[in-house]
Amino acid sequence: MSSLSEFQLLAVLAQEMNMRKASERLFVSQPALSQRLQTIEKEWGTKLFIRSQKGLSLTPAGELVIEFVNDVLKKEEKVRENLYSLQSGVSGTLRIAVASIVGQNWLPEVLKKFVDKYPQVKISLITGWSSEILRCLYDDQVHIGIIRGTPDWKGVKVHLFKDPLYLVDRDITKPEQVLNTDRPFIQFKSDSNYYQEIQDWWMMNFKTSPKRTVVVDQIETCKQMAFNGIGYAILPAITLPKGGQSIFKIPLVDENNIPVARDTWLLGYESAFQLKQVQAFVDIVKEHISESSDL
């Protein structure tokens, strides 16, 4: 039976599918790595990888072994986390998945406070759309997720903050003025529920589609295009500077004159919240929100 170090070697090879890149990650020479792989394959009694000029590829037997290896390494990490939680102090790895917009605009300040207070904790961070963050949680890839919108989640839910939406432009000062401009409505690609909120607000107010629309991949591109007068955009407050910009920010309101806003939630399974590094992070988050609300 292969040791855990050999499992880690196989996992890296399967991730890189390249002997040179894998040897660099493992800090061993290519000949030494090749020799170790041959020894491991001999133990398993079958070929696990096929070499070619393009790199490595898994054999059918290799696919089965790598699936087993990844499962073992995942279980090993959980055991280590539980061992860390039994020890005094806060250490181990904190695995977080965060909606990109939160990861870019809100999380860095929180993480700075966390790593300053708990330097022994390693951070593993994934960013993406909220739907992708939920998938990471369901697949048990992370301890906690931070998402936008209203989650359908049966585990632990911690509400973090509401984020008002604004119509942003260099010239427009009232929402109805969008009907008179020839400049485009600039949108960024996002989860469908965010897009639907914007559509609902727009149709409630204007009963017609925008004259012109430009869709960009990133929210930062959308913001910069609006800030430079190329068009107008609807952006969440979390992305907007508090002052110093010659730009109009018009709050969106619904039919009851209530601000249209996006909720941000911290989610996880009950078992994850029992880990010391997770508890410590949640405490830092709550402190940060409390301090921000006092400003």
CA dist 230 and 170 (Å) reads 9
pLDDT digits (tens, 9 = 90+) for 212-242: 999 999 899 999 999 999 999 999 999 997 7
CA dist 197 and 199 (Å) reads 5
**Which value, in Å, is the radius of gyration of the alpha carbons in the chain?**
24
Which pLDDT score is estimated for 1?
44
Both structure tokens of 213 = 């629309």
Residues contacting residue 140 through CB under 8 Å, at least 6 positions apart: 74
Q: Which of 221, 243, 223, 241 is nearest to 232 (CA)?
A: 223
pLDDT digits (tens, 9 = 90+) for 248-283: 999 999 999 999 999 999 999 999 998 989 999 999
pLDDT digits (tens, 9 = 90+) for 73-115: 888 888 887 777 666 678 888 999 999 999 999 999 999 999 9
Q: Is the pTM here over 0.75, yes or no? A: no
Please give the domain boundaries of the chain with CATH numbers for all domains. 4-85 (1.10.10.10), 86-154+263-268+277-294 (3.40.190.10), 163-262 (3.40.190.290)
